Every structure is written in C-alpha cells, then in structure tokens.
Amino acid sequence: MATATQQDVIRAIAEEMAYGVETAVDCWMTQIESALSDSKLSATARLNAVHEIVRSYKLITGKMEFD
C-alpha cells in the first residue's frame, strides 16, 4: 500500500501528465482551427494545411514511420 507521500508523488505526476496532454491537444486544435479559418487560403489549401498538421503530429508522436 502506498504511503501518503508516495500517493502525493503519484498524484503530482498524474496531474503533470494530464496537463501536458491537455496542452498538446490545445496546441494542435488551435493550429487546425487557424488553418481552417484562414480566409486567404482556398478550401483545398485549408485541407492541405490540416493534413500537414496531422502529419507533423504523427511524426512527433512516432505514429508514422519515416520514409
């Protein structure tokens, strides 16, 4: 059984991990929203911009192998 100190450390680590995930998701969502609302881009260019954001995410997270 974990002691109070161990539980505090575990809780702090879990909170930091959750904060990191939330921050990353907020960043990607902001990038996607910005790409989709850019009135200077055509519809195709907007989709291409979103595609590039997703590609970048996959490369950063290791979900896409390098060619």
Q: By the 8 A CB rule, do 55 and 64 touch?
A: yes
pLDDT in tens, 31-54: 999 999 999 999 999 999 999 999
Confidence of residue 1 (pLDDT cuts 50, 70, 90): low
Percentage of the chain exceeding pLDDT 70:
93
* 57 falls within a domain: yes
Give the 3-state secondary structure of residue 4. helix
pTM score = 0.73
Residue range(s) defining the domain that contains residue 63: 22-67
* 30 falls within a domain: yes
* 11 falls within a domain: no
* 5 falls within a domain: no
Total number of domains in the chain: 1
* 13 falls within a domain: no
* 36 falls within a domain: yes
* 28 falls within a domain: yes
Q: By the 8 A CB rule, do 32 and 50 touch?
A: yes
* 17 falls within a domain: no
